[in-house]
Amino acid sequence: MQVTARWLFNGLFEEELTACRSGTVPQRKGVAQIASWYILNPEYSGRCEDLLLPLCNDENADVRHKAKRVFFNNEVFTLPNAPRVVAKYVKSKAFADDSFSLMLSLREFAESLTPFTELILMICDEFTGPLREASKNTNTGAAGSVREIPPILLRLYEQAQDQNDAQVLSRCLDAWDLLFEKRVGSTRELTNEIEK
């Protein structure tokens, strides 16, 4: 952790940081922890992104757990490069481990969702593809996560309606169709959300 912090704040220990990034599990966890703490700070976000995102695909689950901590905070959506950062996370092993924290952060994000259209549709693709079976198993976090999709997708649809964005409206409806077709989560929950 100290090596990462010193590099981040003072530009010191670059060689040591390089070693830590591919070093032992505790070293990689330390890099992930510092990067996840400081990525929301505009002064450090770019450098932290470069450190953090590869660790979201680390072979060790504990390292991935440290790396995903920032996605528990809906402020991640205020980063200047938020769509890119979060999209890379959605395609990572860390998201497959625990998609719920990001889904809650997205639900609690009070600003418009339209800048995150691609991201939301990418999440739908993950749940109709690689996470489909996990979303049906109530013993997994994916089952809880998939319950968050309908209100988020509906909110995006309504915001697109307000902006008269026919393309986003159409893509939201296509996503609903695919969720039904693939029987993602509970079809009853999806239907109830539409009828509200």
CA dist 141 and 68 (Å) reads 14
Core vs surface per residue 121-135: b (16+ CB within 10 A) or e: bebbebbbeebbebb
Confidence at residue 181, expressed as pLDDT on a 0 to 100 scale: 85
Confidence at residue 196, expressed as pLDDT on a 0 to 100 scale: 60
Confidence at residue 193, expressed as pLDDT on a 0 to 100 scale: 57
Nearest to 148 by CA among 76, 74, 94, 84: 74
Nearby residues of 133 by Cβ (< 8 Å), 6 or more positions away: none
Confidence at residue 39, expressed as pLDDT on a 0 to 100 scale: 93
Residue 73: phi, psi to the nearest 5? -115, 120
Domain ranges of the chain: 1-79, 99-196
Which helix (DSSP H) or strand (DSSP E) does residue 74 occupy?
none
Confidence at residue 55, expressed as pLDDT on a 0 to 100 scale: 96
pLDDT in tens, the chain (196 residues): 788 999 988 888 989 999 999 999 999 999 999 999 999 999 999 899 999 999 999 999 999 999 999 999 999 999 888 999 999 999 999 999 989 889 999 999 999 999 999 999 999 999 988 888 877 777 777 777 888 888 899 999 999 999 999 999 999 999 988 888 888 766 556 566 556 6
CA dist 119 and 156 (Å) reads 11
Neighbours of 147 (CB within 10 A): 16
